[in-house]
Chain A
Amino acid sequence: MTVKSVKITVVALGLLLLSTALCWAAPPIKIGGLFSITGPASFLGEPERNTAQMVVDEINAAGGIRGRKLQLVAYDTQGDATKAVQAATRLIKEDHVVAIVGPSTTGDTMAVIPIVERAKIPMVSCAAGIKITEPVKPWVFKTAQNDYLAVQKIYENLASKRIKRIALLTVSDSFGSSGREQLKSLAKRYGMEIVSDDTYGPKDTDMTPQLTKIRGGKAQAIICWGTNPGPALIARNAKQLGVKLPLYMSHGVSSKKFIGLAGDASEGIFLPSGRVLVADLLPKSDRQKKSLLSFVRDYQKHFKAEGDHFGGHAWDAVMLLKGAIERGGDTPAAIRAQLERTRNFAGIGGIFSYSPKDHSGLTKEAFVMLEVKGRDWALVR
Chain B
Amino acid sequence: MVRDVNSLVKYAIFSSAVLLAPLLFSGGYLMNVLVFVGINTLLAVALNLLLGYAGQISLGHAAFFGLGAYISGVATATYGMNPWAALLSAAAAVGLVAFAIGFPILKLKGHYLAMATLGFGIIVYIVFNETVDITGGPSGLSGIPNFDISGFVFDSDLKNYYLVWAVTLVTILLSANLVNSRIGRALRAINSSEVAARVMGVNVSLLKVQIFTLSAVISSVAGSLYAHTMTFISPASFGFNFSVELLTMVVIGGLGSVYGPLFGAVLLTLLPESLRAFQDYDIIVYGLLLVLITMYMPGGLVRGIHVVTSFARSKFASEVVKNAQG
Contacts and interface: CB of A to CB of B under 8 A. Distances in A.
Interface in B106-165: 129-130, 132, 137-140, 142, 157
B140 A106 contact: yes
Interface string A44-80: 0000000000000000000000000000000100011
B27 interface: yes
A75 B276 contact: yes
A174 B236 contact: no
A202 to B, nearest CB: 10
B296 interface: no
Interface in B224-260: 226, 230-234, 236-237
A173 B236 CA distance: 13
Interface string A170-189: 00111001100000000000
Contact of A86 (B27, B29, B280, B283): B29
Given A106-B140, A174-B138, A93 B29 contact: yes
A38 B280 CA distance: 9
Given A89-B157, A107-B236, A177 B132 contact: yes
Interface string A72-101: 000100011111011001101110000000
Nearest to A106: B139
B104 interface: no
A110 B230 contact: no
Q: Is the interface of A mostly helix, strand, loop or mixed?
A: helix
B32 interface: yes
B80 interface: no
B234 A107 contact: yes
A173 B140 CA distance: 13
A131 interface: yes
A81 B29 contact: no
A92 B139 contact: no
A129 B140 CA distance: 11
B132 A111 contact: no
B263 interface: no
Interface string A160-177: 000000000000111001
Contacts, number: 76
A81 B233 contact: yes
Given A110-B140, A174-B137, A93 B234 contact: no
Contacts of A173: 129, 138
A247 interface: no
Contacts of B36: 82, 86
A113 interface: yes
A85 B27 CA distance: 15
Interface string A12-44: 000000000000000000000000011010000
B33 to A, nearest CB: 6
B28 A86 contact: no
Nearest to A82: B237
Q: Which of A38, A79, A81, A107 has the most CB of B within 10 A?
A: A107
Nearest to A112: B232
A374 interface: no
A174 B233 contact: no
B53 to A, nearest CB: 27
Contacts of A356: none
A111 B234 contact: yes
Q: Is the interface of B mostly helix, strand, loop or mixed?
A: helix
Interface in B12-38: 27-29, 32-33, 36
Chain A interface size range: 20 to 34
Nearest to A92: B29
B273 interface: yes
B33 A86 contact: yes
A174 to B, nearest CB: 4
B236 A81 contact: yes
A236 B32 CA distance: 50
Contacts of A217: none
Contact of A172 (B130, B232, B234, B236): B130
B139 A111 contact: no
Nearest to A175: B138
Given A89-B29, A172-B130, A177-B137, A113 B230 contact: no
A93 B27 CA distance: 7
Interface in B256-310: 272-273, 276, 280, 283
A156 to B, nearest CB: 27
A82 B139 contact: no
B230 A111 contact: yes
A114 interface: yes
Nearest to A75: B276
A105 B140 CA distance: 11
Nearest to B156: A118
Contacts of B232: 81, 110-111, 113-114
A82 B233 CA distance: 9
Contacts of A174: 129, 137-139
A178 B230 CA distance: 24
A129 B29 CA distance: 27
A107 B234 CA distance: 6
A178 B28 CA distance: 38
A107 B139 contact: yes
Given A75-B276, A107-B138, A110-B142, A90 B233 contact: no
B28 A93 contact: yes
A44 to B, nearest CB: 13
B230 A85 contact: yes
18 contacts: A75-B276, A80-B236, A82-B237, A89-B29, A90-B32, A93-B29, A94-B28, A107-B139, A107-B236, A111-B140, A111-B234, A114-B231, A114-B232, A129-B139, A172-B130, A174-B139, A177-B132, A177-B137
Given A86-B29, A110-B142, 12 more contacts: A80-B237, A82-B237, A85-B32, A89-B33, A90-B32, A90-B273, A92-B29, A93-B29, A107-B140, A110-B140, A110-B234, A177-B137
Interface of B: 27-29, 32-33, 36, 129-130, 132, 137-140, 142, 157, 226, 230-234, 236-237, 272-273, 276, 280, 283
5 A-B pairs closest in CB distance? A174-B138, A107-B234, A89-B32, A90-B29, A106-B139
